[in-house]
Copies of this chain bind each other. A is one copy, B any other.
Amino acid sequence: MTPLENAQSLNGTGVARIRDAELRERARVVIPGGMYGHLNMGAMPADYPQFFESARGARVTDVDGREFVDLMCSWGPVILGQHHPEVDEAFNRQMALGDCLNGPSPRMVELAERMVGAVAHAEWAMFQKNGTDATTLCVTIARAATGRRKLLVAKGAYHGAAPWCTPVESGTTPEDRANIVRYTYNDLESVRAVLSDDVAAIMVSPFRHDAGYDQELVDPEFARGLRALCDETGAALILDDVRCGFRLHFGGSWDPLGVEPDLSAWSKAIANGYPLAAVLGNDKYRAAAQSLFTTGSFWFASASMAASLATLDVLEREDSVGRMTRMGDALRAGLQEQADRRGIAINQTGPSQMPYLSFVGDVDWAVSIQFAAAALRHGLYLHPRHNWFISAALTDDDLEVALSATDAAFGELRPLTD
């Protein structure tokens, strides 16, 4: 079923999604709450599929055969599109040799060299599996280097789901969070107010992308100010580039600002969906990185590293950031035209490659949820409370389907337009 056929067949009525319903029922028995984590669709509109069957390019298909144009990209990991031939070939070629061995393959050295070459502040690299592994390792390295304990993070910022950083406190102890101190994003005074001689590091996202809120680009003066405060106090500047890395700029998200972190955390898009994370650092933190013990059973597996090498090659050669920006710009322009035509007041925030749309005055996301559910029925997959992700695989055809779906969705927002 194409997105158009999907839109036609459902036509706002909500066709029974038998397979998804059956799988949810089975999942409720053997998985706590039926699902967990960021892909738990329990609180999303009922039409949202919990289970997916397949994907290709910028299209995803759920277990009931509904195909959608995908504006979530698996929440970031898919940057060149699903099943990119060059990336998959590199993955498969390495897999045929060996993946999880008694040591890494040459791919690990090649990838470390490649990332050090691509990202300005980086003089060394370490690899892991989860974004949380990378953010946690950055903090551990900063503490080892400084002998200090405190970590400054922005209020509301997401840096992973380990006990020290998960947004839900259940199961965490006061000690897990005893050394976390909060500042306000883009407010240098709020950082100064919590600085002390026990601050090991300041962690910061490339821009403010807290779920459920309009996105806020970084103030370049704030970024430069953080760098200066770290230089003054000897704290490490940690850029959490897990969500944005390689989507905003090939050389690291703050490269255009000329602000170099000491340590940066990467994951999600660096291998186009294959599992990998990385920490990059400068020489000031090399000895500290070497002093600690961190590892994982699959951290040295080579196939994801081969996929990452191919991903970086394509991203750089094809200027994928430029393409994602142009497609994101076109999506935004279309959305703005559609909303303006109907007199609907919307906010579009964040970088074009990671767009977010909200409705003015929609404090409880009721309108966003209605809009997302309608877009879904018309063949477009997006999220009402979390930034979206554009991939370089999004074609003009995909964009047309997407804008056709959003146009219909705006048109169905009766309570707002009546």
Binding site for B on A (CB under 8 A): 19, 23, 26-27, 29-33, 35-39, 41, 49-55, 60, 63, 70, 72, 74-78, 82-83, 97-106, 108-109, 112-113, 116, 123-126, 129-133, 136, 139-144, 149, 161-164, 166-168, 170-173, 175-176, 178-179, 242, 267-268, 273-275, 281, 286-301, 381
C-alpha gap A63/B26 in the complex (Å): 46
Contact A72 B102 (CB under 8 A): yes
Closest B residue to A38 by beta carbon equals B295
Closest B residue to A293 by beta carbon equals B168
C-alpha gap A330/B324 in the complex (Å): 59
C-alpha gap A167/B293 in the complex (Å): 7
Q: A60-B98, A136-B162, A168-B291 are in contact. List 9 more A-B contacts (CB 8 A).
A: A30-B124, A39-B300, A51-B108, A51-B109, A55-B97, A161-B294, A162-B162, A167-B293, A267-B297
C-alpha gap A100/B109 in the complex (Å): 25
Q: Which 9 A-B pairs have the closest CB atoms?
A: A37-B295, A144-B171, A168-B293, A140-B171, A275-B298, A33-B290, A32-B289, A30-B112, A32-B290
Contact A51 B105 (CB under 8 A): yes
CB distance from A175 to the nearest CB of B (A): 4
C-alpha gap A161/B129 in the complex (Å): 13
Chain B residues positioned under 8 Å from A30 (CB to CB): 109, 112-113, 116, 123-125
C-alpha gap A299/B133 in the complex (Å): 13
CB distance from A360 to the nearest CB of B (A): 28
Contact B37 A172 (CB under 8 A): no
Chain B residues positioned under 8 Å from A37 (CB to CB): 293-296, 299-300
Residue A168 contacts which of B53, B109, B292 (CB distance < 8 angstroms)? B292
Contact B31 A126 (CB under 8 A): yes
Closest B residue to A276 by beta carbon equals B298
Contact B173 A105 (CB under 8 A): no
Closest B residue to A146 by beta carbon equals B171
Chain B residues positioned under 8 Å from A176 (CB to CB): 175
- A26-B113, A36-B290, A295-B38 given as contacts; is B98 within 8 A of A53 (CB)? yes
CB distance from A129 to the nearest CB of B (A): 4
CB distance from A379 to the nearest CB of B (A): 14
CB distance from A351 to the nearest CB of B (A): 19
- A99-B273, A126-B36, A286-B32 given as contacts; is B109 within 8 A of A23 (CB)? yes
CB distance from A388 to the nearest CB of B (A): 11
C-alpha gap A139/B274 in the complex (Å): 28
Contact A175 B179 (CB under 8 A): yes
Contact B161 A106 (CB under 8 A): no
C-alpha gap A106/B62 in the complex (Å): 10
Residue A161 contacts which of B98, B102, B273, B296 (CB distance < 8 angstroms)? B296
Chain B residues positioned under 8 Å from A101 (CB to CB): 52, 55, 60, 74, 82
Residue A52 contacts which of B103, B161, B172 (CB distance < 8 angstroms)? B103
C-alpha gap A179/B178 in the complex (Å): 13
Contact A131 B296 (CB under 8 A): yes
C-alpha gap A26/B114 in the complex (Å): 12
